[in-house]
Chain A
Amino acid sequence: MSGDAHHDHAHAEHHDHSKFYIKVWAALFVLFLISVFGTLTPWFFVTIIVGFGIALVKAYLVVRYFMHVDIEKPVVHYALIAGLALMVLFFAAVSPDVLNHEGSRWVNVAARAEMERREAAHAAGEGGHHEAAPAAGHEAPAAEAGH
């Protein structure tokens, strides 16, 4: 009898677990839909928030619940935090060089020309911006030669 009770208990617990994970999955699915349709809105800041913000929330849910970090030992948390910290460090130190197209004694001519060309294409084709992308590769050398 007690064996049966134990079995039932375990079964119920298992059922609860599955329910919980299905809930997390449903939340991920809803977030996914928002991230797909959110990018179709015409407002720039909304697409940014949708693109990065929802991705962060989804990553958090997956890491915490599906990768079982919530029930892991502290050392796993430390390793994760150290990895994130190193990523922030790397990005912070590299961005002044790599995200800029000019510094006090240098200019990345090709990159700047490419950005200017894209901005011009974007401004010229408001609404029809899909055509701008394929032409990019062909015109870049010409812009380079212009400098």
Chain B
Amino acid sequence: MSHPEHAHADHGHAAHGDHHHEMSFSEKYLFPTDHKYIAKQYMLTGMIMAVAAGFFAYAFRMQLAFPGMSVPFFGVVSPTEYNSLVTQHGSIMVFWVAMPVLIAAFGNFLIPLMIGADDMVFPRLNRLSYQLFLLSAILVVVGWFVPGGGFGGAWTSYPPLSAKAEYSLTPAGSSIWLAAVAVEFAAFLLGGINFVVTAMNARAPGMKWHDVPIVVWFICIASILFMASVGPLIAGAIMLLFDQQLGTHFFDPVAGGDPILWQHLFWFFGHPEVYVVLLPAIGICAEIIPVFARKKLFGYRAILYTGIATGVLSFFVWAHHQFVAGIDPRMANVFTITTVLISIPIAEMVFLYIATLYGGSIKFSVPMLWALSFIFCFLIGGVTGIFLGASGADIYLHDTYFVVAHFHYTFYPIAIIGTFAGVTHWFPKLFGRYMDEKLGQIHFWGTVLSFNLIFIPLFFTGLAGDHRRIYNYNNFAELGTPDLQWLRILATVALVIMLIFQVLFVYNFINSIFKGKLAPTNPWKATTLEWTTPSAQPGHGNWTPETMPSVYRGPYEYSAPGRDDDFHPQNVP
């Protein structure tokens, strides 16, 4: 790679003459090309979708705790509705909450700011990416209201259930859902190309590869993983759409098709997808921990290389989702080994974060609390994953609530805790104001404690054999375990409490945007470049031509010896 150039070099004439001109309403909010506003659009859309997905979880958890009751604000949940609710909860949380917020919103906001560029290198492509994403979100919402209701074949969409309307009972919903997923993938392909090209070509003068902040690295690695893995699933989705609408039999065993082929196509994408959302979240923690521990990130290169190793290994583990699906047992052995292997780089990364904390001057501000709870919760998710990754143990545990609890212990820290960590940390840069610290602390403890209360009971119901795809346990003599019902009720009550605590966050978020205490340019005394721009800039562009930063050192110089203040920003000679 030759010496990096500024992104603004090419469009300098257009952008810099009117560098600080006020943008019109439509330039700013309807058709923005500024990465900061596109980031906010992604974030807002993701949060709205999260409210819907959270509500769905509430409705089906109430049905499990109190079967047949009329759920407040929903009504009686029918079996078909139950399937739809579970499916939509899962797919929305993965595709329309975690992806847009963690990759698209933080990627858009942080990459240009952290590498010292005025914008993405393809701003219009960036706008198209969001517009396609919005279209996909609208499509999936439309799917809830068509005859038959929203798709109910689970977020993994296994055929033959998903391939035939008479099985899934959602003839139109299933095809609309598939189309929405396909459009969404197109949106993230455009976004991912933009992230990688921007990070490769638009870095500030002097910023070498090992001066790039970890979160930028990890968002780029995640984008590459996404681009490399999504092809088989798009091919599979089209084949499944043909099965649904044109009467083909790619995945129909009755006509010689192969349902296992879908599982391979899906999980070849689906497992790297876990790391696609994990890497940005764990990268966010890598930014927060040194700031609030006032200590240099321990082992920058080791963390970077473990991230790359995780990304590469994530392509070799997918069939651990299929141990009981009838795959070749010899392949099960291979995939057990690769799955257990992937815990090595992740565990190393966790150790490096803990080593960063060791001897630091730790301040338990709200972003730091979220980052630390990420490590705690994700650790539980990772350790329980080892049981499921071993094919022998998985034969018993597969499709029980143990699996549900496990992946929520990985995915909740990623999608929810990671998001809260990022939002609370960069809020002063996003909106130019502080969030309320006290409300933030109450929200943190309420959310994290109730989250653990939801899913720890489910480990036990799962170990006791609770099957996960059951509408009403009382319908099955051998599955109706009344002595476990109190655990199901406990999990549901904890969920309701957790959802109530989110009202506090929404209030704090909106109130702080308008009435929060004004924040200075660098409120956390951090070293990375985003803290050198004025908070909440009015116009397109991040720096004036005179203030464009140059980089002299790595991104985590805290407790720097020989300095009066305890940090040494990247742009200060």
Contacts and interface: CB of A to CB of B under 8 A. Distances in A.
B268 A90 contact: yes
A94 interface: yes
Contacts of A43: none
Interface string A82-118: 1100100110011011101001111010110110000
Contacts of B232: 90
A93 B331 contact: yes
Given A110-B253, A144-B254, A98 B228 contact: no
Nearest to A103: B328
Nearest to A115: B256
12 contacts: A90-B268, A93-B334, A96-B330, A97-B258, A97-B261, A98-B258, A98-B261, A104-B329, A105-B326, A108-B253, A110-B255, A141-B254
Given A83-B228, A89-B315, A89-B316, A97 B268 contact: no
B285 to A, nearest CB: 28
B359 to A, nearest CB: 40
Nearest to A143: B256
Contacts of A104: 329
B256 A108 contact: yes
A110 B327 contact: no
A82 B228 contact: yes
A140 interface: yes
Interface in B481-516: none
- Interface size bucket, A side? 20 to 34
A94 to B, nearest CB: 5
The list of the 4 closest CB pairs from A to B, nearest first, reads A96-B328, A111-B256, A114-B256, A94-B264
Interface in A132-147: 140-141, 144
Contact of A90 (B254, B255, B264): B264
B447 to A, nearest CB: 38
Interface in A46-98: 82-83, 86, 89-90, 93-94, 96-98
Contacts of B260: 97-98
A144 B256 CA distance: 10
B315 A86 contact: yes
A144 B253 CA distance: 11
B282 to A, nearest CB: 23
A100 B316 CA distance: 21
B228 A140 contact: no
B451 to A, nearest CB: 35
A113 B253 CA distance: 12
Interface of A: 82-83, 86, 89-90, 93-94, 96-98, 100, 103-106, 108, 110-111, 113-114, 140-141, 144
B319 interface: yes
B328 A97 contact: yes
Contact of B327 (A82, A97, A108, A140): A97
A105 B256 CA distance: 18
B222 to A, nearest CB: 15
Given A83-B228, A104-B329, A105-B326, A93 B319 contact: yes
B477 to A, nearest CB: 28
Main secondary structure of the interface of A (DSSP, over half): helix
Nearest to B327: A97
Given A86-B228, A103-B326, A140 B255 contact: yes
Given A93-B319, A93-B334, A98-B264, 16 more contacts: A83-B228, A89-B315, A89-B316, A90-B264, A97-B258, A97-B260, A97-B261, A97-B328, A103-B329, A104-B329, A105-B326, A106-B326, A110-B255, A111-B253, A111-B256, A113-B256
Contacts of A94: 261, 264
A78 to B, nearest CB: 11
A127 B258 CA distance: 31
Contacts of A108: 253, 256, 258
B239 to A, nearest CB: 13
A1 B343 CA distance: 70
B95 to A, nearest CB: 22
Interface string B325-358: 0111111001000000000000000000000000
Contacts of B319: 93
A82 to B, nearest CB: 7
B213 to A, nearest CB: 21
B268 to A, nearest CB: 6
B341 to A, nearest CB: 15
A135 to B, nearest CB: 15
A93 B327 CA distance: 10
Interface in B503-545: none
Contacts of A111: 253, 256, 258
A89 B316 CA distance: 8
Interface string B220-248: 00000000110010000000000000000
Contacts of B330: 96
A44 B291 CA distance: 68
A77 to B, nearest CB: 15
A110 B264 contact: no
Contacts of A90: 232, 264, 268
A105 B331 CA distance: 14
Contacts of B328: 96-97, 100, 103
A94 B255 CA distance: 20
A110 B258 CA distance: 10
A141 B254 CA distance: 8
Contacts of B255: 110, 140
A98 B232 CA distance: 15
Nearest to B330: A96
B271 to A, nearest CB: 12
Contacts of B268: 90
A84 to B, nearest CB: 11
A93 B331 CA distance: 7
Task: Give the most central of A110, A114, A144: most B CB within 10 Å.
Answer: A110
Contacts of B261: 94, 97-98
Contact of A97 (B228, B264, B334): B264
A132 to B, nearest CB: 15
Contacts of A140: 255-256
A96 B260 CA distance: 11
Contacts of B264: 90, 93-94, 97-98
A97 B331 contact: yes
A66 B532 CA distance: 46
Nearest to B258: A98
B43 to A, nearest CB: 30
Contacts of A86: 228-229, 315
